[in-house]
Amino acid sequence: MEEMTDNPPGLTRDLVRALAREAGFADAGLVALPYAEEARDAARLRGWLNAGRSGTMRYLARAADDGQPLRGRANLPFPWTRSALICFASYHSAAPLSTAAHSQKSGWIARYAWSSRTDQSGQRRPSDYHKVLLRRLRQLESSLHARLGEFESRAFVDTGPVMERALATAAGLGWTGKNTCLIHPELGSFGFLAVLLTSLEARPEDEITPKTGRCGRCTRCIDACPTGALVAPHQMDATRCIAYLTIEHKGPIAPELAARMGRQLFGCDICQEVCPWNAPHRAPEASDAELEPRPELVNPGLDWLASLDEQAFEQLFNGSPVRRAGFLGLRRNLAIAMGNSGLDGFAPRLKAWADAADEGLRSAALWALDKLRSSCKSTIL
């Protein structure tokens, strides 16, 4: 690591990577702003938004005074920005894949939402990756202040007006796969991205050439997407994505999409699970004490989750990303999973939910009952 001198060096990639790893990240990159392809990436974002592919995620379309999307260029919301530090934290684990054979009585919660830590009493507690990574960014920020003096900065973990994947690609951390995820050549795509914008100048001679895509002719992710959300290589229609439908989308889900959602309850891992870059011989399992999987969330029983009242839901998922779906949102997703299970034993629960005041849950329960009627021969239906 570089030593402090009377004339401190500019911000360098080696320094950023070393300090980021000290803070707990698996890897990190650095890019000077504006970067070479920023105008192209901003135009792509604008086109995606104009095509209506962001659904109800209106925060993505927040615009500057000139009408340009704020997150398209870091210097729009933060004119002082001169560099971006992008950090990667892996959550890859040895837990089974959602694409493996599992009981029809279970559902699937996306791997990133399994995160947990062991507290001082030895008990496992949910950990919100936003808070975990933000704390690490603050440590990185403090280390940089100690070495390079005062500067302005902003830290973001999925919350700021920045295009994390575009910045990560520009910083050389990896490339954007055909499933639109960032693929790290050594760690795969099961990873969180955290961004630190600074007013520090990145040393020009330290800039690197972004990695070009290494997906070749592979289309496994596109072929595997149940709802056809990957409309073309590198193009995602979020309104059809299971992750969007189960988390961001509120209210009823279109029957044709519900029928393809399988037993996904929160998010979806399929397009990453089929990716060769996430194969065990390529992407190592993560060793991160603050992001360990919670065993009870791996293939959780549908009946168990459906039995939770709102208080129990809050206790189970306090500090967990799953809370973003909300109590009624998770129940709506459970109803769809029950309908897709083909098991008529879920009918009594669905009948009770068919009278729910919440339109999303009510419509999902009615759809699920109808689906079970068409696939089962049972007097209780």
Look at residue 3 and tell me whether its pLDDT is greater than 50: no
Look at residue 319 and tell me whether its pLDDT is greater than 90: no
Look at residue 6 and tell me whether its pLDDT is greater than 80: no
Q: Percent of the chain having pLDDT more than 70?
A: 94
CA distance 216 to 89: 25
User: Which pLDDT band holds residue 210 (cuts at 50, 70, 90)?
Assistant: low
CA distance 257 to 12: 47
Residue 141 has a CB neighbour count (10 Å cut-off) of 19
User: Which pLDDT band holds residue 204 (cuts at 50, 70, 90)?
Assistant: low
Across 66-93, average pLDDT: 93
pLDDT in tens, 235-266: 999 999 999 999 999 999 999 999 999 999 99
Across 199-228, average pLDDT: 85
Residues 234, 249, 322, 289: what is their CA dihedral angle, to the nearest 10 degrees?
A: 20
Look at residue 362 and tell me whether its pLDDT is greater than 80: yes
pTM: 0.92
The whole-number pLDDT of residue 206 equals 56
Q: What are the structural domains of the chain?
A: 13-95+125-206 (3.40.109), 220-375 (no CATH)
Across 58-72, average pLDDT: 87
The whole-number pLDDT of residue 70 equals 87
Look at residue 2 and tell me whether its pLDDT is greater than 50: no
CA distance 268 to 243: 5
User: Which pLDDT band holds residue 207 (cuts at 50, 70, 90)?
Assistant: low
Q: Could you give the residue numbers annotated as active site?
A: 158
CA-based nearest residue to 134, from 288, 16, 287, 23: 23
Look at residue 296 and tell me whether its pLDDT is greater than 60: yes
Look at residue 66 and tell me whether its pLDDT is greater than 90: no
Look at residue 4 and tell me whether its pLDDT is greater than 50: no
Across 131-156, average pLDDT: 97
CA distance 18 to 347: 55
Look at residue 196 and tell me whether its pLDDT is greater than 70: yes
The whole-number pLDDT of residue 327 equals 98
Q: What is the mean pLDDT of the chain?
A: 92
